[in-house]
Amino acid sequence: MTVGVETETLVGKSSYQCLQNNGYTEVIVRAYQSTVRVDPNFASSTRNARDAGLAVDALITVTGHTPATAAADVAQYIKDNQLSVGTTWLFPEAPDRYWGTDKSANRTVLTNLVAACKAAGLSVGIYASADRWERNFGADFADHSALPLLYAPFDGQRDFNGFTAFGGWTSPARKAYNGETNMCNAKVMSFTWRP
């Protein structure tokens, strides 16, 4: 069993060490913001997490306005800053605020971004809930089900019990089981689990 956290703000090494001392061994650090830019805290937080001994993944916040060039921007930033990350998770934001109602257009945005991530050499996964997926892209949209899924029911349970297939996924790779809180002098956006 592996548990981790997701962070979006600048987090210091001592906070990551505290999280590690509390049993968390991996972190997802936001790399790209909904404001359509690389997160200025990405490099520092990634280095701090690595220095604290945590495995690091990246997160690209995806909206209906996220350009496919976000993938190349993140990949270049990783290279320029000599960062080491595992999976880059694409996180589609809430439907009503960040996406239009045209599901076909929304699908195109996500598909172009997935293709751009692969072309940029990023290992890519999808971070989504069934509700957001259906509202943004439609229940029948299964084009990316070969990618690993980090699903987000925020049910407080460290297990995959209760997972209901969506988007073509019949099983997840990881789960966000609890949401936003402050811990170890850090703003933690979610807590993750995988077997």
May I ask the CATH class of domain 2-194?
alpha beta
> Which pLDDT does position 22 carry in this prediction?
97
Full pLDDT tens readout for the chain, 195 residues: 999 999 999 999 999 999 999 999 999 999 999 999 999 999 999 999 999 999 999 999 999 999 999 999 999 999 999 999 999 999 999 887 899 999 999 999 999 999 999 999 999 999 999 999 999 999 999 999 999 999 999 999 999 999 999 999 999 999 999 999 999 999 999 999 999
27: left (phi over 0), alpha (psi -120 to 50) or beta: beta
Give this prediction's pTM: 0.96
Sequence spans of domains, the chain: 2-194
Residue 186 β-bridge partners: 183
Burial code (b: 16+ CB inside 10 Å, e: under 16) for 118-156 equals: eebebebbbbbbbebbbbbbeeebeebeebbbbbbbeee
Q: What is the pLDDT of residue 94?
A: 84
